[in-house]
């Protein structure tokens, strides 16, 4: 699959397996997601552009390299995306943050938007969308559709878990959007849940079921 980055680092795979366990508590699930998002953020930001700056060490002046974190916008798809956000902000603390509120209608599996708030001057920014789950792909496609209207420089989509159906759907409509994931599971079930998956990410993060 082109434009799909599978993050196979052993620490990522280990933590993902612990998160899948049905008896993982809310607190364990949330802690693992936070740790995982730190690790995944390293991979996702690997190609961030660097600038040269002059820096004075205690001994002499030299040229160092820095990133411009302000050009990066992390866009969280509410609610579950917020569980992913903190780890990214740990790695790039200067990043701007946007929020899109979307929930899946349980009957139609179509996304319903209830919130949208982005930073200014999106044409100058690179977007990283974060959401733990890419299932049918409907939510991700709706988010990218909406964000492309703002003409950002680039868009990446980061999830913890996806399936062949979700990857194919997002890539068909938005082939330019790189997908980063820790696993591509077997399939979707008839209710749009990923198998074997980890259940409902939002409910597990926030303890709502």
Ligand X SMILES: O=c1cc[nH]c(=O)[nH]1
Return the residues of window 16-75 that contact ligand X according to CB under 6 A: none
By CB neighbour count within 10 A (0-12 exposed, 13-18 middle, 19+ buried), where does 72 fall? buried
Residue of 32, 74, 77, 85 interacting with ligand PRP (CB under 6 A) = 77
122 labeled binding residue: no
Q: Does 202 bind Mg ion (CB under 5 A)?
A: yes
Which partner from the list ligand X, ligand PRP, Mg ion, none does 194 bind, CB cut-off 5 to 8 Å by kind?
ligand X
- Between the CA atoms of 176, 71, 95 and 12, what dihedral angle is there, to the nearest 10 degrees? 40
Number of C-beta neighbours around residue 176 at 10 A: 10
CA–CA distance, 157 with 166 (Å, rounded to integer):
12
Please identify, using beta-carbon distances, which residue of 65 and 191 lies nearer to ligand X: 191
Binding mask 150-189 for ligand X (x = CB under 6 A): ----------------------------------------
Please identify, using beta-carbon distances, which residue of 64 and 196 lies nearer to ligand X: 196
Q: Does 99 bind ligand PRP (CB under 6 A)?
A: no
Q: Does 76 bind ligand PRP (CB under 6 A)?
A: no
Q: Residue 172 belongs to what H/E stretch?
A: helix 164-173
CB-facing half-sphere around the CA of 91: CA atoms within 13 A = 20
Residues contacting ligand PRP: total by CB under 6 A: 23
Q: Diameter of the chain by CA atoms?
A: 66
Q: Please state the closest distance from residue 123 (CB atom) to ligand PRP, in A.
A: 26
Active-site entry in 21, 108, 153, 176: 108
Q: Does 201 bind ligand PRP (CB under 6 A)?
A: yes
Peptide bond into 99 cis (omega under 30): no
Tell me the C-alpha to C-alpha distance, in Å, between residue 103 and each of 14, 22, 40, 156, 169: 29, 23, 24, 20, 18
Residues 6+ apart with CB under 8 A from 68: 49, 51, 94
131 labeled binding residue: yes
Q: Which residues bind ligand X (CB under 6 A)?
A: 133, 135, 192-194, 197, 200-202
Q: Which residues are tagged catalytic? A: 104, 108, 200, 203
- Would you list which residues are annotated within the binding site for 5-phospho-alpha-D-ribose 1-diphosphate? 79, 104, 131-139, 200
Residue numbers at the binding site for Mg ion (CB under 5 A): 200, 202
């Amino acid at each position: 699959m082109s434009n799909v980055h599978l993050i196979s680092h052993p620490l990522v795979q280990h933590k993902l397996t612990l998160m899948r366990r049905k008896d993982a508590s809310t607190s364990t699930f949330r802690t693992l997601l936070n740790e995982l998002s730190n690790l995944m953020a390293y991979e996702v930001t690997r190609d961030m552009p660097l600038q040269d700056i002059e820096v004075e060490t205690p001994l002499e002046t030299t040229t160092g390299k820095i990133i411009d974190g302000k050009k990066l916008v992390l866009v969280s798809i509410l609610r579950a995306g917020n569980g992913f956000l903190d780890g990214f902000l740990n790695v790039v603390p200067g990043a701007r943050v946007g929020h899109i509120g979307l929930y899946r209608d349980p009957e139609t599996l179509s996304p319903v938007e209830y919130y949208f708030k982005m930073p200014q001057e999106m044409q100058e920014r690179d977007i990283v969308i974060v959401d733990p789950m890419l299932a049918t792909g409907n939510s991700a496609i709706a988010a990218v559709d909406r964000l492309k209207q703002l003409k950002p420089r680039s868009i990446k989509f980061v999830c913890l878990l996806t399936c062949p159906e979700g990857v194919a759907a997002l890539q068909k409509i938005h082939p330019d959007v790189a997908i980063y994931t820790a696993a591509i599971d077997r399939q979707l079930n008839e209710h749009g849940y990923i198998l074997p998956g980890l259940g409902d990410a939002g409910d597990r993060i926030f303890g709502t079921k």
